[in-house]
Amino acid sequence: MAMTPDIPDQQTRSRYGIRTAAWIRAVTARFRRTFRGPLQWIADRMPKGLYARALIIIIAPIVVLEGVIAFVFMERHWQAVTRRLSEATARDIAAVIEIYEQSPHDEKSDDRIVKLARDKLGLQLRILPAADLPESRPKPFFGLLDAALSDEIRKRVKRPFWIDTVGKSRHVEIRIKHDAANLGFIATRSQTYASNSHIFLLWMVGTSVILLTVAILFLRNQIRPILRLADAADEFGKGRSIPDDFRPRGAREVRQAAQAFLEMRDRIKTHVDQRTAMLAGVSHDLRTVLTRFKLELALLGDTPEAKSLLSDVNEMQHMLEDYLAFTKGDGGEEASPTNVGELLEEIQADAAVYGADVEVKLRKKSSKVMVPLKRNAIKRAITNLVTNASRFGDRIVLRAATEGAWLRIEVDDDGPGIPQTERDNVFKPFYRIDHARNQDKSNTGLGLAIARDIAKSHGGDITLGKSSMGGLRAIICVPL
């Protein structure tokens, strides 16, 4: 009866797969723990930009490929050619030595051997007096030639020898110790060494430069649409209009991203326009009702009940204005160049009408700085901060300065301030704290929320700190 092999069922295979996956995760985690330091060091020093990273992705394979080619070429081609040349030179030297040994050692015979080596073998021969061979010189650059030539001379000649591959740039000097004399041979380097390295290096460097130039030009054209998309998104995020010539360009994926951005922008603008139109209608209708309330209360005469109702109507109108302002945000206003100094002086003049003591302090270069801002919206944000400060302080100071790529506007007061634990909470809509700064019952708790919403629509933010006058410091930062 034939035996069938055991076939693991689905559950067994699944268990094996789970164990394998767990083992891979364990090995990966151990690798990360072991090399976390070096890997983090490399990650910190790697370029962060897409352009530089893409260049590395292209350059690294080119460098590795050319390095492998160079290694193979050196180890295989150059070594083989050098050994063949060294072998031929060693044979010629061995032949000359054999002729010298078989000839009488007189001046005529020596001249004949020197002429034979020069004319037939291309070797310069000098017959020197017998002496010890010179000491070997360091040969850092010609190890391959020294090794190949030494091996061949040792194999063919079998006598003590000395070679010098670095003393003369175009020649190789070889001395063979003989019983009667030292035979000095000088051969050109091309006879013993494949000296076409400059051609190989020129080819390697030339092709690398050509490939890198093509890669840089190609990548620059591919990265430019991405940078334009990033700039357009940044401008839109700051509430500014994007360039009129912006349109989807570049690779298919970049075009899809740009088209998606444009569609998103249109949807947001449509939503903002619809919300603005709806709020304008709501505001008109509610103001009409409140105006009728005031007229009816005026007809009731100057009675305590009428005064109480009129106070409630005024408070309701104030609350309605705050709610609408918070919901409306910047109202779809377009950013335009705004003189910061003139804007702060205008806010100072408006605050003086309500009896608020506001002082404006500007640096000379900041008094005339022009920043793309939604003027009415940013004025509303600063006015809210000034109004909040005037409720709880007697003195208010407005400062403005440019710091790097940011515009910094400070509103200081000498009031009781806000505890540090509450400084994040006060930006929440309708949030009120049990503090001396919250004694005004007509306050709806939306002033700071509206101000931060406007600052964020400009691509900035509002932070709170301690004033140098002992009260609260509100800081608006928006990009230039």
447 contacts 388 by C-beta, under 8 angstroms? yes
Q: What is the pLDDT of residues 305-359, one digit of tens each?
A: 777 777 777 767 766 776 666 666 555 567 788 888 888 888 888 888 777 788 8
The CATH code of the domain that includes 378 is 3.30.565.10
Residue 267, domain member (yes or no): no
Q: Is residue 216 in some structural domain?
A: no
Residue 382's nearest CA partner among 410, 421, 354, 422 is 410
Give percent above pLDDT 70 in the chain: 79
Q: Look up the CATH number of the domain holding residue 144.
A: 3.30.450
The model's confidence at residue 196, banded by pLDDT at 50, 70 and 90, is low
Cβ distance 96 to 117 under 8 Å?
A: yes
CB 130 within 8 A of CB 205: no
Contact indicator for 163, 152 with CB cutoff of 8 Å: no
pLDDT digits (tens, 9 = 90+) for 240-288: 777 777 888 877 888 888 888 888 888 877 777 777 677 667 777 777 7
Binning pLDDT at 50, 70 and 90, where does residue 378 land?
confident
* Domain edge (last residue) among 165, 195, 225: 195
Domain interval for residue 403: 333-479
| CA-wise closest residue to 164 among 155, 177, 175 | 175
Query: In whole angstroms, what is the distance from residue 232 CA to residue 247 CA?
Result: 10
Cα(239)–Cα(247) distance, integer angstroms:
19
Domain boundary among 195, 221, 246: 195
Q: Which residue has the tokens 């990009």?
A: 479
Task: Out of 174, 195, 216, pick the residue that ends a domain.
Answer: 195
| Total count of domains within the chain | 2
Position 41 in a domain? no
Does 34 reside within a domain?
no
Q: Is the pLDDT of residue 437 over 50?
A: no
Residue 225 within a domain: no
Residue 2, in any domain of the structure: no
Q: Which two tokens stand for residue 245?
A: 């010539």
- The verdict on residue 43 lying in a domain is no
**Mean pLDDT over each residue of the chain, to the nearest integer:** 76
From 218, 221, 164, 172, select the one nearest 195 (Cα to Cα). 172
In a domain, 419, yes or no: yes
| Three-state secondary structure call for residue 366 | coil
Query: φ and ψ at 339, to 5 degrees?
Result: -80, 115
